[in-house]
Chains A and B, each alone.
Chain A
Amino acid sequence: MTFRHRLRRDWPLLVMVLPVTVLLGVFHYFPTLGNVIAFQDYSPYAGIRGSEFIGFGNFQRMFAEPAFWQAVANTVTITAVQLVFFFPIPIALALLLNSVLSSKLRNLIQGVVYLPHFFSWVLVVSLFQQMIGGAGLLAQTLRDNGHQAIDLMTKPDTFILLVTAQSVWKDAGWGMIVFLAALSTISPELYESAAADGANRWRRLWHITLPGLRPVIVLLLILRLGDALTVGFEQFILQRSAVGGGAAEVLDTYVYYQGLLVGDFGYGAAAGLFKGVVGLVLVLVANRFAHMVGEQGVYSKS
């Protein structure tokens, strides 16, 4: 079929896709090109065309800045802590729920644990503040019983555990869905014949359930590693003033504070671009790794 034929046949489809293409163009691809200001001494008055190119000047300044490395260290540490303390919880939850026989009870629990995923971070932080903050229920109860009140929302040294607890509260239930789906694809006959062969429940868990979950676990682990520099923006920007930048500054908030708020756009864009490029490389490497260990990965050449 010639191009003109196809155009005459498919133009309504192209019209349908047009608005989305325009929006993505204006608000995704166009700003992506705007990252050239990372290589400029950008001034809002001069604009991109009028601002002077300074090569890697912004990056040199950034790499010499201890606050930047502090933000990188915080981000990576938070990712690591969440891998250890967050990642296994949805798996455990899914196993627990899968073992509940009554489907009514199962649906009820699912309904309850999915719910916080649909709350905003502002709301989640507000609720935590009311429970364990300085004026919260925990402090109030301690004070009533003659103890010293504690404020877990403003302590820099335990902040990393606090944000992990918040993430678990908000998203562990939601993270369970994909494991429940994987569990439901494991054939019950496997369990039955294993039981007939004398495997007890723990051996069945080890030899049937966990291997059944392996592809999903590997995929999610890889996705998380590829996303190592993204730990959630809103959660940190909301709490940074309470605990200070030493503990709560992550790469995204660094861009916001050092770039946008002080008007140092070129420098902020450099930090943002650093995060974007390293993140992209991590995703590509993680995906390559997934293929190497024989898993599907996130995408494949088709």
Chain B
Amino acid sequence: MSARAVWEEEPTVAGRLGKPVVLALIALAVAFPLYVVVVTSLSSTEAVTRAGGLVVVPRELTVAAYVQLLSGGVVTRALVISVAITVIGTAFSLGLTVLAAYGLSRPGSLFHRPLLFVVLLTFLFGPGIIPSYLVVNSLGLIDHYASLILPAAISAFNLIVMRSFFMGIPGELIDSARIDGAGEFAILRRIVLPLSKAVVAVVGLFYAVGYWNAFFNALLYINDNSKWPLQMVLRTYIVQQAPLPTGAGGVANVGLGLAPAPGLAIKMAIVVIAIVPVLLVYPFIQRHFQKGVIIGAVKG
């Protein structure tokens, strides 16, 4: 509906004026903090001093903070770790989820119902923090990067979303491929996956955002701070306000002949670095969930 229906009343004055104001305030509530953080991260020492802290009006922008953070040290290392965990974890989770979703999408197959029950039951209760910790510990995964992937690799929700989509693929397509002699793996690769690009993309992006944002598993399982992902760094230096280490192994002091960035700009640059990947994939997520991939699956 892009125009007002003929039977609808004229909008009231309050509605005509109030609605844009409310919408603008809502958008501003989301956008303004992000704006302030970005501007401050790009500000020079002088600009930060003049503003007395966070900078709202941009003046003398510089990328010194980013150069310092990304030329080696704590944040560079955490960034590399987070990117690696996200890429490897997403590939792993997505691959296993696709396989299981297809394996469970043929009603009447052997053990179909009990296996589906095993997946669904994980919705009803969690194993608890301490028993999970003890299992990860006894597998020798403490301080191992695998502890950031394996325990949370499978989201039952994502699996069910994908399975519902696979079940909507016309059975005739699959049956005719089977008559042509295709095995299940070939059917999955040649028939089902090409028809399911959207749902695979959405589920992949959900996994990726999940890995990128994961903080709690690192808190539980990674004691060695040289193995911290970015969210742990963010927590330590921004939320807990620990002083940033400088010099070798910390944050580089100078880079490319730029004046050193103020501490606040460096901190805000860490925040921005944590946001950017989410902003990069966000348009893709948005394009897909507007098609109702998620909602349809939840209802089914």
Q: Do A and B come from one complex?
A: yes
Q: Which A residues are in CB contact (< 8 Å) with B2?
A: 101-103
Indicate if B103 sits at the interface (CB-CB under 8 A): yes
CA distance A200 to B9 in the complex (A): 8
Nearest CB on A from B56, distance (A): 7
**Which residue of A16, A169, A233, A252 is within 8 Å of B30 (Cβ)?**
A169
CA distance A54 to B8 in the complex (A): 70
Q: Which A residues are in CB contact (< 8 Å) with B183?
A: 12
Interface residues of B, count at CB 8 A: 95
**From B185, which residue of chain A is reached at the shortest CB distance?**
A12
Q: Mark A22-35, 1 if CB is under 8 A from B, else 0.
A: 01101111111111
**What number of residue pairs across chains A and B have CB atoms under 8 A from each other?**
264
**Which residue of A14, A32, A118 is within 8 Å of B127 (Cβ)?**
A32
**From B237, which residue of chain A is reached at the shortest CB distance?**
A126
Find the residue from B19, B129, B279 having the highest chain A CB count within 10 A.
B129
B110/A10 in contact, CB under 8 A: yes
Nearest CB on B from A187, distance (A): 13
CA distance A127 to B102 in the complex (A): 41
A10/B109 in contact, CB under 8 A: yes
**From B95, which residue of chain A is reached at the shortest CB distance?**
A19
Indicate if A96 sits at the interface (CB-CB under 8 A): yes
**Which residue of B118, B126, B239 is within 8 Å of A21 (Cβ)?**
B118
**Which residue of B96, B97, B110, B231 is within 8 Å of A6 (Cβ)?**
B110
A130/B295 in contact, CB under 8 A: no
CA distance A200 to B7 in the complex (A): 10
Indicate if A272 sits at the interface (CB-CB under 8 A): yes
Q: Which residues of chain A (248-286) have a CB below 8 Å from chain B? A: 252, 255-256, 259-260, 265, 268-269, 272-273, 275-276, 279-280, 283
A127/B184 in contact, CB under 8 A: no
A192/B27 in contact, CB under 8 A: no
B234/A126 in contact, CB under 8 A: yes
Indicate if A81 sits at the interface (CB-CB under 8 A): no
CA distance A135 to B31 in the complex (A): 20
CA distance A115 to B127 in the complex (A): 30
Indicate if B57 sits at the interface (CB-CB under 8 A): no
**Which residue of B26, B54, B219 is within 8 Å of A237 (Cβ)?**
B219
**From B24, which residue of chain A is reached at the shortest CB distance?**
A109
Q: Which A residues are in CB contact (< 8 Å) with B124?
A: 280, 283
Using known A-B contacts A23-B96, A279-B125, determine if residue A123 contacts B286 with beta carbons closer than 8 Å. Answer: no
A37/B131 in contact, CB under 8 A: yes
Nearest CB on B from A251, distance (A): 11
Indicate if B254 sits at the interface (CB-CB under 8 A): no
Indicate if B106 sits at the interface (CB-CB under 8 A): yes
Chain A binder among B58-66, B67-75, B83-91, B146-154: B146-154
Q: Mark A1-13, 1 if CB is under 8 A from B, else 0.
A: 0010011011111
Indicate if B198 sits at the interface (CB-CB under 8 A): no
A20/B119 in contact, CB under 8 A: yes
A234/B1 in contact, CB under 8 A: no
Indicate if B259 sits at the interface (CB-CB under 8 A): no
Q: Which B residues are in CB contact (< 8 Å) with A245?
A: none
CA distance A107 to B290 in the complex (A): 9
**From B205, which residue of chain A is reached at the shortest CB distance?**
A118
**From A182, which residue of chain B is reached at the shortest CB distance?**
B295
Chain A: number of interface residues, binned into ranges: 35 or more
Using known A-B contacts A16-B99, A24-B118, determine if residue A140 contacts B54 with beta carbons closer than 8 Å. Answer: yes
CA distance A201 to B10 in the complex (A): 10
A252/B52 in contact, CB under 8 A: no
B154/A24 in contact, CB under 8 A: yes
Q: Which residues of chain A (147-187) have a CB below 8 Å from chain B? A: 169, 173, 177-178, 181
**Which residue of B133, B240, B295 is within 8 Å of A181 (Cβ)?**
B295
Q: Which A residues are in CB contact (< 8 Å) with B134?
A: 31, 34, 37, 44, 265
Q: Which A residues are in CB contact (< 8 Å) with B243?
A: none
Indicate if A99 sits at the interface (CB-CB under 8 A): yes
Q: Which A residues are in CB contact (< 8 Å) with B27?
A: 108-109, 112-113
B103/A16 in contact, CB under 8 A: yes
Q: Which residues on B are within 8 Å of A, measured CB to CB?
A: 1-5, 7-9, 19, 22-23, 26-27, 29-31, 33-34, 36-37, 51-54, 56, 96-97, 99-100, 102-104, 106, 109-112, 115, 118-120, 122, 124-136, 139, 150-154, 159, 183-185, 188, 209, 212-216, 219-220, 231, 234-235, 238-240, 268, 271, 274-275, 278-279, 282, 285-286, 289-290, 292, 294-295, 298
Question: What are 16 residue pairs bridging A and B, where the CB atoms are less than 8 Å apart in the complex?
Answer: A17-B100, A19-B96, A20-B97, A26-B135, A27-B135, A31-B132, A32-B128, A100-B19, A108-B27, A114-B286, A122-B239, A130-B36, A131-B33, A237-B216, A259-B129, A272-B131
Given A13-B103, A122-B213, A140-B52, 10 more A-B residue pairs with CB atoms under 8 Å apart are: A27-B153, A29-B118, A31-B128, A105-B23, A110-B290, A122-B231, A123-B271, A137-B56, A238-B239, A276-B126
